[in-house]
Structure 1
């Protein structure tokens, strides 16, 4: 990439996650000398945007870094001539997330913001907005890389691959979080941990774990993977069965609990629903507390409480990727990219989450050590079929395609429930989901 003055536009800049990103820019400034940072949000989020903008300025000032920070509601102004456009939006904000979680549970289904019926509703709200952002990028910053952190990240990335027409890479903090957890369990520096992942976002399997040059996959699955610590704050903390992991021959990501432990997770969600203590309500409380902290004019560092929000290592993932592209590093990171035959049982234009070499031209997925066996392939293909249908439903606003998407999803299980939850979600989110045919 030509070394031009760096301009980064963050769409959804009023997010509580943004201080994590600012910390990353400061930490990596020597190799990623950002000159302009535009934080963009919608009118409903103007107060949060202004709070985050002021805090960002304090953080850079403390680090004695002089950059131009702008907060704006004008997305096109922010995107124009940007080097990178980072998307971290939540269409409908946390109130919509609460509906995504509660409505499925009321119908006896898993309620979650990135998978199942809830994740589907979020995709329907999000994909049209993301594609509109892509249109602006094509016009105003055609050479920019679009880095997407918006959930459901795999679905959004696939929509951009098929319909966006921009250079794009999807991101998630789950892979780096896993590396950090393995490093802690093995008492080594994270640089000593390499993993190979295969799958799609929030449905990936770690098939190789190498620590200090030694392949410890089998030992790790039998001795460490079923214990505490390998989870995320937004997922019920249920331990894996050691025999199950050894028979799977891979470490499933935390989100697999929704599939492999569906009954136990649903039971927990029903309890939380009855007590009014869903994850969305917890996050709302955390957000309120964080923004009270952010208002403090004396606060000029990222508060530790942000880690409770679930955004740990967000800055590492986002800024590491930007830095690798900008400096043509050719290092290996785990990202969401076009398949192009890497996973042979999935379509070439599917979004997959795998190890890739990052250089000035973007992400280049690496060939797998081995293709997924049937114990992985079955679930992977089923969820990918749902994702293909979900993208088409969101883009073409088709009720019939939406219904089929939910019917094939493993967490739905029946046509009657698929139709019932689809109708409820479309009605609940009619302000944000374009009318379906």
Structure 2
């Protein structure tokens, strides 16, 4: 099997390598290609990756290339983990919205929109190369944010693609630890859009039966659950669900903004972590992932990615949380919208599992953000200031014309070098 990581020079790649090494019985990789335009990062990351494989006794070959076409030729699976503009652009995404008292975040709000505008055209170019050069039945796994918008862009162009996020697997591990059971004994009723999801059920398999333990968790561990997502306990009680951390940007917007205005951006923090990691990777005696990698984010991503690859290539049919076409699952959204829900993973298709009817307040927010996402993708594909302004105005974290105009012009000025139509 040939697996390709586009964006393989990321400092996070050794986390994936660790997963490939530990879980090689689950996913027998013969060739792993790291593709990246940065030769320095590629050399450092591939070096530690090869040493990690050697330490684990993994017989797979790790290859590198700066050419997407070379890397993806005859690939079975291509994983996309891109950051167009690097941490510098991310810093802009996390700070320019502050000018009009909006939160700055790299996957949602005005900052997430900027990332979508930079990213979608590049991803679609890469996907066309994959279509031409990879195996005819190759899968594209998108871990590039904003995952929902990028995955819909891929599906809209007919690519064999699925989006992946680590929020659900993080919750699964959290609930398993709370119950002192194996993570395989926990499944989730996870629903919403990428980075706009709730856990509406936590299903424990025990003694041959399955029961929803969320009500007892909300009763007995409420304060702990609320602290974990950094939102008021009363909100979890009101909704009878556990919102993902990313809903904090909506439900506690002013609190988050106040925190952001007095702290360095996450991009600044990550830049320091990355510099430290790259220095570690340069040490030719290092053959395990450094402890600092845990500070980089993306917990359990390697397990989620490898489970998904294994099921896509071996037709396991197990249920995993992915970003997939709606196709009537949430009746208030168009069929072609991309939602984040549990689906059975086979080699031919993704079979979405039944979803419980959502309370009105959840459906309303999902519908509002979905409307923005559709406008955002239209702007990313076709360009134009008016399209950007319409999408900005539609986002529930903006919603005012004067703010939307200011944010649009600031976004375009900061990202002009990344947007062909705006140069």
Bin for the TM-score computed over the shorter chain: over 0.9
Q: Which position in structure 2 is the counterpart of 1:265?
A: 256
179-188 or 145-154, larger mean C-alpha shift: 179-188
Counterpart among 288, 295, 298 of residue 308 in structure 1: 295
1:16 to 3, 11, 16: 11
User: Structure 1 87/184 Cα, relative in aligned 2: closer, same or farther at 3 Å?
Assistant: same
Query: Match of 2:197?
Result: 204
Q: In the alignment, what sits opposite 2:419?
A: 433
The residue aligned with 1:234 is none
More deviation, 371-380/64-73: 64-73
* CA displacement at 1:144 relative to structure 2: 0.8
Aligned position for 1:220:
217
TM-score by length of 1: 0.93
Where do 1:363-402 residues align within 5 Å?
Answer: 363-368=350-355, 370-402=356-388
Partner of 2:278: 291
SS in 1 for 2:289: coil
Q: 1:228: how far off?
A: 5.8
1:155 paired with 2:149, answer: yes
Partner of 1:29: 24
Tell me by how many angstroms 1:220 deviates. Answer: 1.8
The 2-side partners of 1:310 and 1:68 are apart by 27
Deviations 1:72-118 (A, max 9, x none): 11110011110000000000000000010111112211100000000
Structure ranking higher in helix proportion? 2
Aligned residue for 2:64, secondary structure, equals: strand
Task: Report the CA distance between 1:248 and its aligned residue.
Answer: 1.1
Q: How many residues align?
A: 418
TM-score (norm 2): 0.96
1:52 aligns with 2:52: no
SS at match of 2:198: strand
Distance apart, 1:431 and its partner CA: 1.1
Offset from partner CA, 1:302-335 (integer Å, 9 cap, x none): 2222111112111101111011122211101000
Are residues 1:146 and 2:133 paired?
no
2:163 equivalent to 1:170:
yes
Cα contact 2:384–2:421 (8 A) shared by 1: no
Q: Secondary structure at the match of 2:30?
A: strand
CA apart distance, 1:398 = 2.5
Segment drifting more, 279-288 vs 398-407: 398-407
Q: Which runs of 4+ in 1 moved over 3 A?
A: 228-231
Unmatched 5+ stretches in structure 1:
1-5, 232-236
How large is the Cα RMSD of the aligned pairs? 1.5
Question: 1:307 is paired with a residue of what secondary structure?
Answer: helix
Picking from 398, 401, 406, the partner of 1:420 is: 406
CA-CA distance at 1:230 after TM superposition:
6.1
- Quote how far apart the aligned CAs of 1:221 are: 2.3
Give the secondary structure class of the aligned counterpart of 1:430: helix
SS at match of 2:26: coil
Q: Which moved more, 1:211-220 or 1:171-180?
A: 211-220
Q: Distance in 2 between matches of 1:203 and 1:400?
A: 26
Q: Deviations over 1:321-360 (max 9, x none)?
A: 0111222111010000111111111110001000000111
Following the alignment from structure 1 to structure 2, what is the Cα–Cα distance between the partners of residues 281 and 354?
32
Is it true that 1:115 corresponds to 2:115 in the alignment?
no
The 1-side partners of 2:227 and 2:316 are apart by: 30
SS in structure 2 of the partner of residue 34 of structure 1: coil
Change (3 A) 1:432 1:254: same
Partner of 2:284, secondary structure, is coil
Decide whether the 8 Å contact of 1:333 with 1:355 is kept in 2.
yes
SS in 1 for 2:25: coil
Change (3 A) 1:194 1:358: same
- Decide whether aligned partners of structure 1 residues 190 and 229 sit closer, same or farther in structure 2, where only a CA change above 3 A counts: farther
Alignment of 1:252 with 2:246, yes or no, is no
Residue 128 of structure 1 is matched in structure 2 by: 121
2: CA distance, partners of 1:73 / 1:311 = 24
**CA drift at 1:66:** 2.2
Q: d(CA) in 2 for partners of 1:55 and 1:204?
A: 35
Residues 208, 7 of structure 1: alpha-carbon distance in 2 compared, 3 angstrom cutoff: same
Q: Distance in 1 between matches of 2:288 and 2:140?
A: 27
Indicate if the aligned counterparts of 2:139 and 2:312 stay in contact, CA closer than 8 A. no
Q: 1:118-162 deviations in whole A, cap 9, x for unaligned? A: 000000000000000111111112321000000111111111111
Structure 1 Cα separation of the partners of residues 150 and 367 of structure 2: 18
Identify the residue that residue 181 of structure 2 maps to in structure 1. Answer: 188
Q: Distance in 2 between matches of 1:382 and 1:228?
A: 26
Contact 2:416–2:422 (CA under 8 A) maintained in structure 1 = no
Deviations 1:376-434 (Å, cap 9, x if unpaired)? 01110000000000001000113212111111111112111111111111111111122
Q: 1:436 Cα deviation (Å)?
A: 4.1
